[in-house]
Structure 1
Amino acid sequence: MTLPTLHQLITQGDLDGFTQALQDGADPNQLDSVMGNAPLHIAAQRSETAFVKTLLEHGAFINLQVPKHGVTPLMVAVWHRKPAVVECLLADKYINVEISSHFGLKAQQLIDFGAADDDRFGQQQAEQIRALFEQHHKQQLKQQATMEAFNIVTAASSSDQEKAARLRALSQQQTLNATSPVTSSGNDEHTAVMVAARDGLVASLRQLMDLGGDQQIPDHYMKAIPLHKAAYNGHAAVIELLADYPGFQETLNAQGPNNGYTPLHDAIWHGHLKAAQALIEAGADIELRAYDGTTPLELAKQYQYQEIAELLGSNK
């Protein structure tokens, strides 16, 4: 098996050549053709962190799973008992410790793999790694606790009006536009504004925007902005509300990097006539093409949404 260039440079310990290759345009996420390991999976096996840090600086996907077995770089570092690398990966804001491999185990569940009970050094390494995961968990809880606005809008037991009242009484607003940690919660890297727009919490969203909410901050999963979420879920009232605040024009025709859909595409995708109408009336571009090659009108015809197609046709 011939490894790709970056993989080879890591195995050779050639950091200078490795860094130069990345600067010259080598793909930090290239997979080998046999297992599907990315350079970061190989780097995570080493005891030092230089290759890992360099890859992350050049855009390596920290949570990339090997196609064969679903192992992430963090899992590799834990499995190979590399505390320094585990610490480095856990310090990254995008690390996701909740990912499961194809054989059903998360990174933390691999701590005790390999080291025998009488392996003193191995057990010491395992304890180091276990402590790092505990520290990471505590830091996430601490971060989450400070996000007052986010915690208010995600409270399942409160109505929209109750949430809006609590938002008006916020004790501090420093974390108003903070993004939630990556925990596989469904709210990863969401702001309070994102959650309110997604869930159609009009009263809460109005209060957030009056306090200085930012509607241009994307989420973790799709790098979508609040307007995408509102359109996707058919919340026409949310769209109309956001149109009255700064940042709306900057996001009105934003194309998501996952599929190239604009908010208008997202509204049409699921047949939300009123949401599509709100976006069109706000001046959405009806000619932009998504990655699948469709304009909004073509997408409406593809999914046989006749009313939306007629609406778009009359606005051409």
Structure 2
Amino acid sequence: MSTELITAVRNRNTAAAERLLSAGASPDARENVSGLTALMIAAGQADAPTVRALIGAGADVLTAEPRAGATALHKACQGGSLDVVRALVEAGAFVDAVAPTTGHTALMDALWYKYPDIAAYLLDQGTSLKVYTHYGFSLEEHFQYELNVNTFGKDKLLEAERHLKDRRAGDDAAIARQELMAATAEGDTERVRKLLDDGAEVDERYPNVGGFNDSHTPLLVASRDGHGEIVRLLLAAGADVNAVEPTFGAVPLHKAVYNGHADITADLVRQDGIDLDFVGATNGYSPLHDSLWHGYEECSRTLVEAGARLDHVAHDGKTPLDLAVEVFGDGHALTTLIRDRAAQ
């Protein structure tokens, strides 16, 4: 049925594809010669109905093809259907997925294939502008190269360039507007206090500009950078104690313990609704894993005594006890505490 499904998708026959999927054909079937999945083929052919049928059947929107490492979203940016791009993003495709051969993101491909409407959509989704090809061009250099070598469709390239300029201007305006984030990053406690008293938005997120604070809230930054009094002010103002930043998939508690801020760790674990065991996306580490990994005994002890889980297994197969033995030693008091608590 996989071969039949690929044939149906190649023929843009959505009805036949749906029948095959209902009969048990795998939505992740791959074409033998190209290695493209059915979803990649439909996306590249700008076949929105078939793309939606495959997604509805559970097709993997994240997987890559074997020759260039491109995803279905890359193929959609070649096909030129904004409906397909939107369907893939809404299904969980990473807008900044990088093809390992070229280094292209979806935005780079949308620019390359001259689809300014897709570029505008990806820009609205917060796609990164600070990216580089694997052949040495920044996004800006890549775009200028396209302008120089194309004799057809320059009007579309220039339209896309306007979208790029609008996005950069919007990012600059957001940075200028976010006084609370600026004061937090500078560690200016009194300015933070005044801004909060004046009604500043406590959980506003920093724009994605290729920097250390991308998509962070002020609490994430203050917890990371050790601004204890600012953390307390933000918490009192109702800051989201479980706000997640997308780069590492970390919460404020991860930020605090990773950097050994024991006072902030103690303040955070006392908050109503705090998730002591939130698992980071990059390595599957809980805050307790992070604190042990970096050798911060006081932070680790605070988490254990607050009731952090001791049985979570990270992506490297390690539990908190494994890390405690590795970092502090088998006979250390903290290791003994974790072992005893885990046995209860």
What TM-score comes out, normalization by structure 1 length?
A: 0.90
1:99 is aligned to: 131
1:232 is aligned to: 258
Shift of 1:28: 0.8
Question: Deviation per CA, 1:291-312, whole angstroms, max 9, x where unpaired?
Answer: 2222111112233545332342
Query: Which residues of 2 match residues 12-31 of structure 1 at below 5 A?
Result: 12-31=45-64
C-alpha RMSD of matched pairs (Å): 1.9
Q: What is the DSSP-based 3-state SS (H/G/I as helix, E as strand, rest coil) of the residue aligned with 2:78? A: coil
Residue 8 of structure 1 pairs with residue 41 of structure 2: yes
2:224 is aligned to: 198
Task: Mark the CA change 1:9 to 1:311 in structure 2 (over 3 Å): closer, same or farther.
Answer: same
Task: Mark the CA change 1:202 to 1:58 in structure 2 (over 3 Å): closer, same or farther.
Answer: same
CA distance in 1, matches of 2:207, 2:80: 27
Residue 167 of structure 1 pairs with residue 196 of structure 2: no
1:144 is aligned to: 175
1:56 is aligned to: 89
Shift of 1:245: 2.6
Shift of 1:224: 0.6
Q: Is the 8 A contact 1:40 1:52 kept in 2?
A: yes
Task: Mark the CA change 1:255 to 1:314 in structure 2 (over 3 Å): closer, same or farther.
Answer: same
Residue 260 of structure 1 pairs with residue 284 of structure 2: yes
Q: Is the 8 A contact 1:31 1:39 kept in 2?
A: yes
1:70 is aligned to: 103
CA distance in 2, matches of 1:69, 1:277: 46
Shift of 1:206: 1.0
CA distance in 1, matches of 2:166, 2:277: 41
Report the residue type matching 1:129 in the other structure.
A
Q: Is the 8 A contact 2:189 2:229 kept in 1?
A: yes
Shift of 1:137: 0.6
Bigger share in helix: 2
Task: Mark the CA change 1:20 to 1:312 in structure 2 (over 3 Å): closer, same or farther.
Answer: same
**Which structure 1 segments of 5+ residues have no match?**
none
Residue 188 of structure 1 pairs with residue 226 of structure 2: no
2:238 is aligned to: 212
Task: Mark the CA change 1:278 to 1:24 in structure 2 (over 3 Å): closer, same or farther.
Answer: same
> Based on CA coordinates, which of the two structures has the bigger radius of gyration?
2
Task: Mark the CA change 1:116 to 1:265 in structure 2 (over 3 Å): closer, same or farther.
Answer: closer
CA distance in 2, matches of 1:180, 1:117: 36
What TM-score comes out, normalization by structure 2 length?
A: 0.83
Structure with more relative contact order (C-alpha pairs < 8 Å, separation 6 or more): 1
CA distance in 2, matches of 1:84, 1:227: 39
Q: Is the 8 A contact 2:48 2:81 kept in 1?
A: no
Question: Deviation per CA, 1:36-84, whole angstroms, max 9, x where unpaired?
Answer: 1111111112333111111111111100010112111111111222211
2:301 is aligned to: 277
CA distance in 1, matches of 2:111, 2:150: 19
Count how many residue pairs are aligned between Structure 1 and Structure 2: 306
Residue 298 of structure 1 pairs with residue 322 of structure 2: yes
CA distance in 1, matches of 2:129, 2:47: 29
CA distance in 2, matches of 1:127, 1:269: 49
2:248 is aligned to: 222
Query: Which residues of 2 match residues 109-120 of structure 1 at below 5 A?
Result: 109-116=141-148, 119=151
1:89 is aligned to: 122
Shift of 1:179: 1.3
CA distance in 1, matches of 2:102, 2:149: 26
Q: What is the DSSP-based 3-state SS (H/G/I as helix, E as strand, rest coil) of the residue aligned with 2:312? A: coil
